[in-house]
Structure 1
Amino acid sequence: MDLTRLTSPTSVAVVGATDRPGSYGHAVLANLVHNGFTGSVIGVHPTRAEALGFPCVPSLGELGRAVDVVVIATPAATVAGYVSEARRLDCGGAIVFAAGFAEVGHIALDDELVAAARDFPVLGPNGNGLVNAWTRAALWGDHAVLPTDPGHIAVISQSGNVGVSLLAHRRGLGLHSVFSIGNEAVVRTPDLIAHLAVTDEVRVVAAYLEADGDGSALATAVATCADNDVRVVMLKAGRSVLGAAAGQAHTAALAGDQRVFEALMLEAGAVLVREPAELIETARALITGRRNPRGVAVLTCSGGDATLAADLADDAGAVLARLGAETLQALGSLLPSTASPGNPLDHTNLVWADTNAVARITEVVAGDPDVGHVIYVQDQPDGLPAAAAAEWAATRSGAELGGSRAGTSVMLTSTMPGQEPDSAVSGLRAALAAIAALQRPAPSGDRLRSIAAAAHAVGGTTATDRAASGPVALSLSEGEAKALLRAAGVSVPLGGMATDPDGAADVARRIGFPVVVKACAPGLDHKSDLGAVAVDLPDASAVRAAAERILAIDALPPGTVLLIEQFAVGIEVLVSATRAGVVPSLVLGLGGVWAEAIGDVVVIPLPADHARVREGIDRLKGAAVLRGDRSQRAYAVDAVCHLASNVGRLLVDSRAALIELNPVIVSAHDAVAADAVIIP
């Protein structure tokens, strides 16, 4: 659907227009007046001739023209009728404030609204509307004051109150628009993101989300952002509860819905933040900075600030520049004797208010070959006398002048949010988060579209989806699972099936000792908990004894048979592919304590080729163990990549809910799936 007229209107009709304060109809009209909207406005009211000076007509049918936006400020029961009429009149879209739809269980009203809209754009219901600072269209159900100078940050909020707070924030400078999307009955967050990505004035989309929604649509939307170099900041509230599969596999516990969402956003080059204020400030920082893979230099006049900057850079994943010998030597001649050249750099307060000295220091740092970004940190107290404030300004000016001479823009920020000029980014954490994103390679629209295609083919499932879908299907037996894996090119141990101890011994003799003997049946996922696994069995008598003991376990389901396999030796790795989350994904980690106690796993949206898997492995804390760094034994990392890529492909092709190999045994030459769970 085309959202151009809805998001950038030049003509508006307000259904429920009134002079009565406290109503949505009054709020919208008052906002249009106070913010200087110059387009045409007409009210719709059965008895009023005017409202707040705007003319009124009795019904939409009497408007006399197809307006860009119909604002519906009437109760929920009336909404579908007005939407249907606005669509019939070929208006550009509608905004619905009313609550009382699906959010309170009134599904029928939601269905009625969607049926009336068809492909007609409707923002809401249960939202606060929209504002566009460029057109001065303040179609907002609360008090709205638009910034005098429109900017380039578009904000989307699934929470009405968060949207209100962001619009009212004193740091709202730089806003292009704000959308309170409500229940998303028709227009969804991905629809808005995709539209804003091709809107000329928009350079950053900042979104507050409470639900993942359609993963395929979201991946497609951020792909459009990548194509147009529109940067993305996300605040995702609420960590989803673990899905029903948590009782059947380790994957859900190690890679819940939030981690899958974060993995998708990493692919999109998005910055993830923790609170609403950071949403705006990080967006401002992204506009200030330029994409550059080189390191960041941080300058300040405080040793404490310098230490804090190093810690926050590490937290944010921002790479600090390594200053070269020539730079350090030059700084040695410029800095006071009490200062130590380095990065972060404390130039001390001995050059305070000396614009030229600070400029020379900043110019030398910014000119270092390893420096791509410069941050200057300064916390200016409120209420300073004019002379003192001028000193702070002179110091900042020196930093900006030095950066300009070196051809590098300087990002001004503070350690204490709120203690900075309006031109600066509020908070060092937000500044460094933006720098970290700008250091990474530009996201690939093609890669994101491939993720969208996989999500469309397989379907991601959020925790809410899984709760609504009822009981989880039984997993395949391990024998069936490994047959599918073998056909998909995944290495599995040599083995065979048996129904009694003598048969188990025959299989073991055929494949060679030592062996593993396990119980095998559909839905039997936690065999070790039942004592139904015996490992490293050296001969036939040991196999018979183990088989007799396992078959005597009362808790085993009827029809249980025995799986006998060669015993593999090596390091344990977890490889899993799952549909649990906003998009299907691959989960990788070292086995044992690395995955379960430390949570050292990576999540990679599917599809994932060999190179993408290798990149993910290198992000593991325990990657050095696999690679054999520092003269340790090296394991077959390429074999793990090949196996994991095939597992991901199998999930997409088979549309299984889960494929979990835990463990995969990795030796110096091979990677073999020692245990396997597949849930159709």
Structure 2
Amino acid sequence: MRDLRRLLRPGSIAVLGSGWAANVIEQCRKMGFDGPVWPVHPTRDQIAGAPCFRSLADLPAPPDATFIGVNRHATLDVVAELAAMGAGGATCFASGWEEAGEADLQARLVQAAGDMPILGPNCYGVINYLDGALLWPDQHGGVRVERGVALLSQSSNIVINLTMQARGLPVAYVACLGNAAQVGLAELAGALLADERVTALGMYVEGIDDAVAFADLAEGARAAGKGIVCIKSGKTELSRTAAASHTASLAGGGAASSAFLRACGVAEVATPAELIETLKIFHHCGPQIGPRLCSLSCSGGEAGLVADLAAPFGIDFPPPSEAQRQRLGDILGPIVFISNPLDYHTFIWGDGPRTTDVFTTMLAGYDAGIFIIDPPRPDRCDPSSFQPALDAVVAAAQNTGKPAFAVASLPENFDEALALRMAAPNVVPMMGLETALGAIKAAQRGPNRGGWRPWPVMGARRLRMRDEASSKALIAAAGVAVPRAVTAPTLPELAAQAAGLTAPLALKGLGFAHKTEAGAVRLGLSSLEGQAEMAGAQGYLAEEMVTGTVAELLVGLRRDPVYGATVTLGFGGVTAEVLADTVTLVLPVTAEEVAQALRRLRLWPLLDGYRGRPKAAVDAAVQAVMDLQALLQARPALEEIEINPLMLTATGAVAVDAVIWEEAE
């Protein structure tokens, strides 16, 4: 692991270029950087009022950090010279590398850098708001802080937009990766989190280059008490076997990346606003909040709105305890109905001590509290009457040691100045009710399983498909139940061998990835006599049909080019894509994690005895998944195993269709 401290916390900065270099110098001045900034230019006497050095060799000392704002070909020579002179690191601004089809040029850049860390190329650079050091050629919206969160992005424009936030989030660092030719995502993130003044990390991620390193990063951050929240873009992942696999199509759309972040204990959000609000929670409250929430407002309408908007996030509000009911009733009087969400009416409005008593009493019984409060706009109204309620939120957090979220239902109703005044340990001013609820849900993400790491990634390879009979033989040997069956190259031979099977029977043609679509499945047969040939069949399979079925599941395990391997679970059969009721996990998984995943399915009640139906043997399904995981792990040549459907009865689970893709010999 490279040492990035000189690059991120420089005592001296060199800048190369002209216009871009001038911007870097001006930004350092505006931010009050107290170290030397040395412009280097072969012909100019000064840049932005700072005297120029003719060459790097003329500098008083090797710079800790260098902004390289020259063209890509000149960048190669500059990087090589900086590395040779013992510089601390550089950001490479120029574009036109691998993203433009110049992979060889980018490889030469990495070779020129050697052990010296470089960010980019095609990279804006880094801002250190703690020390006022900027290798940044553009405007930004940040200010000096003593502690705060780090923002790391694979898009320069996205992170520039984030710096313009007016939501009271203290930002300590901004860093861009560009092409990440040398320093990767996890490496730069780890270096930012290593600064004790950094409280949390927010990331905009287009691609994860090293899943194992990322899992290491996440576990280390949690151990240090620092939360990570991520926007993952580019979620559509095309599989090498997508055309022939239900699993591949159902596990797309970001399912694998979301499953990986969940396994790592990283909070995932969808929007920049949610990213900022979640970071505020992590900054003020630590890396995780508990699941038991209360909500308080002085309006029944607001209480109902909170309940309605919280439901899609899976947030509910447990009722107050009897002791809380009695105490709150004593304070608020008989007219107020004590519930959660609580409408405390306006009987105590403006009474600071009684409001504090209500807020403290309610919050004490929960892990965290939402306090809906929209101060009137100060340019047209007098907001002073709201101050007792705002003070009571802060007092409740101090009295209980619990997180208190002061939430404005509209983001513009809580301005930055007020947010900064209120912010304190366990006190989080939040802008926008729906955004706040999304952030709160994200912050409830639990820690990853200690020591969990994804499997290694397998390289691209040529694949072949096993036929159903061969696939079933392999999974049966691994412990998964399959129907009694016979195979034969022709239908007459099959009919003779099937005499010992018990009807009803299923007749299948071998050699098809999707037999139903190919017309290669016939069900409910009492015998095989007189059956017509199936065009394109490479042999035939006859098997006893499963009776007493409670549900049909899809179970698909496949290698993943980023995350090692995944398992997708859902309701299956021929309508698997129509139902699209699936969950995806990144391997390895435990039996308990598989059971929890099944309970997240929308149609879980059908497995759990809905309206008097028999309960499915879910334990048998879980065991089948664990057996298939062991099979995939033991045989690296296997690429994908799909069971669709896995028939669940009240007593067991039987794989009635199986397709396996494996490396071609």
The corresponding residue for 1:508 is 498
1:579 aligns with 2:559: yes
- Number of matched residues? 645
Which one of the candidate residues 634, 641, 647 is aligned to 1:665? 647
Deviation string for 1:440-486 (max 9, x for gaps)?
53333412xx22xx0x2546xxxxxxxxx69x734221122222222
Residue type of the alignment partner of 1:659: I
Unpaired segments of 5 or more residues in structure 1? 460-468
User: What CA deviation, in whole Å up to 9, does each residue of 1:182-234 have, x standing for no partner?
Assistant: 22222222222233333312221101122343333333322322332321111
The one-letter code of the counterpart of 1:24 is W
CA contact (8 A) 1:507 1:564 kept: no
Between the aligned partners of 2:483 and 2:111, the Cα distance in structure 1 is 55
Question: Measured at CA, do residues 6 and 190 of structure 1 come closer, stay the same or move farther in structure 2, by a change above 3 Å?
Answer: same
Equivalent position of 1:615 in the other structure: 596
Structure 2 contact 39–50 (Cα < 8 Å) conserved: yes
CA deviation string 1:379-429 (max 9, x = no partner): 22323568x222122211122223432332422121111321323122233
Letter in 2 for 1:377: I
Task: Give the aligned residue type for 1:3.
Answer: L
Percent identical: 31
CA pair 389-89 structure 1, distance change in 2 beyond 3 A: same
1:279 is matched with which residue? 275
Q: Does 1:356 align with 2:353?
A: yes
**2:530 aligned partner:** 545
Q: Identify unmatched segments of 5+ residues in structure 2.
A: 424-428
Equivalent residues in 2 for 1:68-467, closer than 5 Å:
68-171=64-167, 173-240=169-236, 242-243=238-239, 245-290=241-286, 291-335=288-332, 339-368=336-365, 371-384=366-379, 388-420=382-414, 421-422=418-419, 423=423, 424-447=429-452, 450-451=453-454, 454=455, 456-458=456-458
- Tell me, in whole angstroms, the C-alpha distance in 1 between the residues paired with 2:181 and 2:252: 26
Please say if residues 556 and 567 of structure 2, whose CA atoms lie closer than 8 Å, have aligned partners that are also in contact.
yes
Corresponding residue number in structure 2 for 1:634: 615
Q: How far apart, CA to CA, are the structure 2 residues paired with 1:578 and 1:180?
A: 32
Look up the match of 1:533.
Answer: 521
CA-atom RMSD in angstroms = 2.4
TM-score by length of 2: 0.91
Counterpart-to-counterpart distance in 2, 1:301 and 1:357: 14
Secondary structure of the corresponding residue to residue 518 of structure 1? strand
Of the structure 1 ranges 178-187 and 240-249, higher mean CA displacement relative to structure 2 is found in 240-249
The question of 1:14 aligning with 2:2 is answered: no
Q: Are the counterparts in 1 of residues 278 and 440 from structure 2 also a CA contact under 8 Å? A: no
Give the aligned residue type for 1:9: P
Letter in 2 for 1:365: M
Cα contact 1:154–1:177 (8 A) shared by 2: yes
Q: Secondary structure at the match of 2:126?
A: strand
Native 8 Å contact 1:28 1:138 kept in 2: yes
Residue 173 and residue 501 in structure 1: after superposition, are their counterparts in 2 closer, same or farther (change >3 A)?
A: closer
Q: Displacement of 1:64 after TM fit? A: 4.3
Runs of 4+ in 1 over 6 A off after TM superposition: none
Q: Which amino acid aligns with 1:566?
A: E
Report matched runs for 1:640-655 at 5 Å. Answer: 640-655=621-636
Three-state SS of the structure 1 residue aligned to 2:15 is: strand
> Partner letter of residue 375 of structure 1?
I
Query: Are the aligned partners of 1:150 and 1:173 in contact in 2 as well (CA < 8 Å)?
Result: no
Distance in 1 (alpha carbons) for counterparts of 2:249 and 2:496:
39
Question: Would the aligned equivalents of 1:10 and 1:135 in 2 still touch at CA under 8 Å?
Answer: no
Question: Conserved in 1, the CA contact under 8 Å of 2:235 and 2:257?
Answer: no
The letter for the 1-side match of 2:646 is V
Q: Secondary structure at the match of 1:358?
A: helix
* Alpha-carbon distance between aligned partners in 1 of 2:376 and 2:605, rounded to the nearest angstrom: 46
Deviation at 1:324, TM superposition (A): 1.5
Does the Cα contact within 8 Å between 2:501 and 2:544 map onto a contact in 1?
A: yes
Alignment counterpart, residue 567 of structure 1, candidates 535, 545, 549: 545
| Residues in 2 aligned to 1:620 and 1:588: alpha-carbon distance in whole angstroms | 9
Q: What are the Cα deviations for residues 615-645 of structure 1, in whole angstroms up to 9, with x where unaligned?
A: 2112222223223366431221111111112
Distance 1:593 1:150, change over 3 A: farther
The amino acid that maps onto 2:301 is G
Q: Alpha-carbon deviation of 1:160? A: 1.1
Deviations 1:550-595, CA, capped at 9 Å, x for gaps: x3x33x16xx111122212322111011224631211011224884
Counterparts in 2 of 1:659 and 1:117: CA distance versus 1, 3 Å: farther
Between 1:623-632 and 1:375-384, the stretch displaced more is 623-632
Deviation at 1:51, TM superposition (A): 2.7
> Take 1:401 and 1:172, find their aligned partners in 2: how far apart are those partners?
20
> How far, CA to CA, are the matches of 1:273 and 1:518 in structure 2?
45
CA distance in 2, matches of 1:649, 1:27: 57
Alpha-carbon contact 2:269-2:442 (below 8 Å) kept: no
The yes-or-no answer on 1:485 pairing with 2:475 is yes
Q: Distance in 2 between matches of 1:545 and 1:326?
A: 76
Q: Report the TM-score, using the length of structure 1 for normalisation.
A: 0.89
Shift of 1:326: 2.3
Residue-by-residue CA offset, 1:70-102 (whole Å, 9 max, x unaligned): 210111121122112222222221101112222
